[in-house]
Structure 1
Amino acid sequence: MSPASLRVPSHRRRVLAAAVAVVLSAGALAAVGPVSAASAAQYPSWSDVEQAKASKDAQQAKVTEIQALLQDLTEQASAAQRESEAAGTAYQTAQTNYDAATLEQQTLQQQADEAGRTAKRSEAQAGQLAAQLGRASANDVTTDILTHPSDSGDLLYELGAMSKLTEQADGIYSQASQDRGVAQGLADRAEQAEKALGALADAAQAKMQAAQDAADRAQSAVDAQADNKERLEAQLALLTTNEQDVEAKYNEGVAAEKARQAALAAAAAEAARNAAATSQGGTGGGAPNSSGWVRPAGGYQTSPYGYRVDPYTHYRALHAGVDLAPACYAPIYAAHAGTVTFAANGGGYGNEVVLDNGGGISTAYGHIVDGGILVSVGQHVEAGQQIAKIGSTGWSTGCHLHFETRVNGSAVDPVPFMAARGISV
């Protein structure tokens, strides 16, 4: 994963470096993730570098020091990014396990309910036959034979018929008992599966939080690298060349880059506002309907919710959302107002945003392009607000949005869910 795949856009490298060049003379870099045992690095100031040029030995020592600091910055950022990727994969696995278990539990419950209805029908049929036999019992037939011997042929036939009915009754009672046993067995399995869901839900939530924390640590490492790398390289140039005014030129370049990036950000924000204002509900975004929902992106649905052979892994697995495929870099909109609870690497989901939409409902948006997450954790967004850009990160074979609707943390089919809220996906 490149630094650009983290939450903060890569242009911050130069913007953040401006303050560092002026203020930081011996700042400490907090250790990140798996390198937390390392002592905080002390970075040389420009005056340190200027003084080192007075002595050849001091100059070489300072060159070696700066080269080591640059290497350490790279290693810390890479290690933190690997940790973030691993945490994202663990989250995605836990969420998938929870979604699959929830779907299995719901299927078992539906089967148990149907088996229960079948058992009731069988028991009702057995009860009706028992009542019929009670009204014309074998004892009554025997009495007729003794009191009306002249009609014994007909009565013996009636007795044989009663014997057949009794055999049928035994079969119906046996079937009713079997049906009740099947229903009870399915109900027990559904109950056990439901009990297991709590632990799976907790695991998915914990893994998601761990993935977000790891992504934040990785971003800190990338920020530290961005804050210091260019300044250290400029100081290295001051030590190893005869170029004059390196610090002044460096600071001028930082200021110019900062102004350029600010102008680009303002232009992008204006374009996003214009796009949101002009987009129609049928293509994604736009004004929310009376239920407060919008379509999260344009494009056709390319893969529905349900089990399938995953085109990336080639294994059969639950596809817990629907895929919408507009163009690469197309806008992704918040389907409903909510608060950002996740904005980081989600393993197979790629770069992902999750919104808590209230009432136990959340929505998830996956495969966002590197650098395309436009929101941060804790931020409140409105329905139809652009939150990201379409990409193909994670387990993806082409640009698209993987969109999930979750109830109490578990994915449900977005098609009927959104249709009930007046939105077609």
Structure 2
Amino acid sequence: MTTAPLFSRPPRRRVLAAAVAVALAAGALGALAPASSASATSYPSWDDVQAAKASQAAQQAKVTEIKGLLADLTTKASAAQKEAEAAGTAYQTAQTKFDEATLTHQTLQSQADEAERTAKQSEAQAGQLAAQLGRASGDDVTTDIFTHPSSSSDLLYELGAMSKLTEQADGIYAQATQDRGVAQGLADKAQSAKQALGALAEEAQAKAKQAQQASDDAQTAVDAQNDNKTRLEAQLTLLTTNEQNVEADYQKGVAAEKARLAAIAAEQARQAAAAQAAANQGGSSGNGSGGSGGGAPTSSGWVRPAGGYQTSPFGWRVDPYTHAHALHAGVDLAPGCYSPIYAAHDGTVTFAANGGGYGNEVVLDNGGGISTAYGHIVDGGILVSVGQHVSAGQQIAKIGSTGWSTGCHLHFETRVNGSAVDPVPFMAARGISV
């Protein structure tokens, strides 16, 4: 499955009602100013179109002009869309490298710590043998041989044993030195990984900001371009048909569609409020494994981000989409397509756009160096915007299968100071089972 487009463009059609619906769905109500990329373009007014009908030549010229403008808008909208997708993919790639470098550093540091422990044990053992040799050499063995010839065989045995002990002590010291060298080498690698990790963290952060800015710019451009495109299509209808009241019908359609969308939004808000009230009455029972998600926060202020059972854990795996061995930096929960996604904790939205392989994604800064991420959201299913403050249990999105996904699910991540951690123990420590 290919990464889902960040923005959808309305198909070219002359059905006026459909054109009006598309314009409003894009947030363009009326004649918005064109985006910066098209700011130098002069668009015909309704008066220009009416005047063009006075002569066949002028009418044909205006038709040609509008068709050219439509083609240009389609090209620019497509370019803006691809730019946002590319930025999202760059962010996701940098984030994945950062997560893999984090685990590599943790592994190297663990190995370095183990080698250090081994070196200390070897030094302790060598020290014990050295002490034993010191006690044995306290007697003059050569003198004993001459003064007690009858015990010479025992003394020679003692000398042989001492020699063996010396060799063993030397070997243990050498091994300790080697172990310490290994430990130092691993520690050096861990330090290098840390430095690379810092660079990757900065890169990921920069890519995320670039992706967000590109998405915002693309959204603004597409909204304005869609509005111009829809209005031009209506004007083209006026020029190429005998309909007399196209402009009036267009404006009526705008008002009707605006009222319809407002009614839908009000109903969704009512349903969300009712669901939240019911969840609050039911307590945190929905936070268990396979629960419904959301509900009242635990004493630590956390909730389950979605319902459904876990379908893929945190850790290295063969990615079901790319078929490559890669880090899965979160857990997957699969309650079903279009199911609600809840904020796992109070926070501020820092990202709400296309995240490359993550598909449509929302990232929350939950404070204290903790952040949570919610991926593969359905197209049109992001219900929050950057900078918005949300509360634990508030619905922020809907389950989908965008990005590198093979079916509807939520990819949920928990991060501490930017590094991905396993959400299962992280959430368990806060009273939530995922």
Using structure 2 for the length normalisation, give the TM-score.
0.91
SS in 1 for 2:243: coil
Q: Kindly state the Cα deviation for residue 228 of structure 1 after the two structures are TM-superposed.
A: 2.1
Residues 218-237 of structure 1 mapped to structure 2, 5 A cutoff: 218-237=218-237
Residue of structure 2 in register with 1:307 after alignment: 316
Between the aligned partners of 1:98 and 1:41, the Cα distance in structure 2 is 43
Between the aligned partners of 1:413 and 1:367, the Cα distance in structure 2 is 19
Deviations 1:329-364 (A, max 9, x none): 000011111110000101000000001111111111
Residue of structure 2 in register with 1:133 after alignment: 133
Residues 11-90 of structure 1 mapped to structure 2, 5 A cutoff: 13-14=23-24, 19-20=29-30, 24=31, 28-31=33-36, 36=37, 40-90=40-90
Q: Kindly state the Cα deviation for residue 11 of structure 1 after the two structures are TM-superposed.
A: 6.2
In the superposition, relative to structure 1, how do residues 18 and 249 fare at CA in structure 2: closer, same or farther (>3 Å)? Answer: farther
Unaligned runs of 5+ in 2: 10-19, 280-285
Query: Are 2:6 and 2:360, in contact at CA under 8 Å, matched by a contact in 1?
Result: no
Between the aligned partners of 1:182 and 1:18, the Cα distance in structure 2 is 64
Residue of structure 1 in register with 2:378 after alignment: 369
Residue of structure 2 in register with 1:395 after alignment: 404
Query: Are 1:94 and 1:207, in contact at CA under 8 Å, matched by a contact in 2?
Result: yes
Query: Are 2:28 and 2:224, in contact at CA under 8 Å, matched by a contact in 1?
Result: no
Deviations 1:81-101 (A, max 9, x none): 111111111111000000000
- What amino acid sits opposite 2:98 in the alignment? Y
Amino-acid identity (%): 78
SS in 1 for 2:348: strand
Aligned pairs, number: 412
Query: Are 1:5 and 1:351, in contact at CA under 8 Å, matched by a contact in 2?
Result: no
Unaligned runs of 5+ in 1: none
Residues 304-383 of structure 1 mapped to structure 2, 5 A cutoff: 304-383=313-392
SS in 2 for 1:88: helix
In the superposition, relative to structure 1, how do residues 261 and 415 fare at CA in structure 2: closer, same or farther (>3 Å)? Answer: same
Between the aligned partners of 1:379 and 1:5, the Cα distance in structure 2 is 24
- What amino acid sits opposite 1:14 in the alignment? L
Moved more, 324-333 or 156-165: 156-165
Between the aligned partners of 1:238 and 1:110, the Cα distance in structure 2 is 73
Q: Kindly state the Cα deviation for residue 278 of structure 1 after the two structures are TM-superposed.
A: 2.5
Residue of structure 1 in register with 2:14 after alignment: none
In the superposition, relative to structure 1, how do residues 12 and 267 fare at CA in structure 2: closer, same or farther (>3 Å)? Answer: farther
Q: Tell me the C-alpha RMSD between the 2 structures.
A: 1.9
Residues 399-410 of structure 1 mapped to structure 2, 5 A cutoff: 399-410=408-419
Moved more, 140-149 or 211-220: 140-149
Residue of structure 1 in register with 2:196 after alignment: 196
Between the aligned partners of 1:256 and 1:169, the Cα distance in structure 2 is 92
Residues 95-174 of structure 1 mapped to structure 2, 5 A cutoff: 95-137=95-137, 140-174=140-174
Residue of structure 2 in register with 1:209 after alignment: 209
SS in 2 for 1:335: coil
Residue of structure 1 in register with 2:183 after alignment: 183
SS in 2 for 1:285: coil
